[in-house]
């Protein structure tokens, strides 16, 4: 499988793996997919994190610049689970984003920029 798989191909491969009954390692060998890539795609889908195509990810990272950032104290939400891991980003507009651990930094920067944040 080429490194330039589309997001649709990644979803299809994850669906095939899920119904295959194989381990990720076995499935990866059969389909010429790195286990680390397959695992990353599975986690992204399970967490609901959009996958960004490789070329687009590089373009977003190249455009992203970090400007002045203001930090403020944020107390944990009362409903937050003790085992929940991640970070909450509060934008000046009042929008708050709960970002799971492992989310691609370029994606976060693009999301904050799209929402009118300081990136």
CA distance 91 to 87: 13
Concatenated DSSP letters of 41-60: HHHHHHHTPPP--HHHHHHH
CA distance 82 to 44: 22
What is the pLDDT at residue 77?
A: 58
* Between 47 and 116, the higher pLDDT residue: 47
The pLDDT tens digits for 24-83 are: 999 999 999 999 999 989 998 888 888 877 677 667 766 666 666 666 666 665 545 544
- On the CB side of 82, how many CA atoms lie within 13 Å of its CA? 0
Instruction: Give the three-state DSSP class for 114.
Output: helix
Tell me the whole-structure pTM to 2 decimals: 0.47
Inter-residue contact 1 to 33 (CB < 8 Å): yes
Query: What is the band of 21 on the pLDDT scale with cuts at 50, 70, 90?
Result: very high
CA 13 to chain centre: 17
């Amino acid at each position: 499988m080429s490194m330039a798989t589309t997001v649709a191909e990644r979803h299809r491969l994850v669906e095939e793996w899920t119904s295959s009954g194989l381990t990720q390692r076995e499935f990866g060998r059969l389909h010429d997919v790195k286990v680390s890539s397959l695992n990353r795609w599975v986690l992204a889908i399970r967490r609901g994190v959009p996958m960004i195509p490789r070329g687009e990810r590089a373009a977003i990272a190249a455009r992203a610049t970090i400007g002045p950032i203001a930090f403020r104290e944020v107390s944990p939400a009362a409903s937050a689970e003790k085992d929940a891991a991640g970070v909450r980003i509060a934008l000046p507009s009042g929008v708050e984003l709960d970002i799971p651990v492992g989310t691609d930094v370029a994606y976060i920067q693009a999301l904050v920029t799209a929402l009118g944040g300081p990136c």
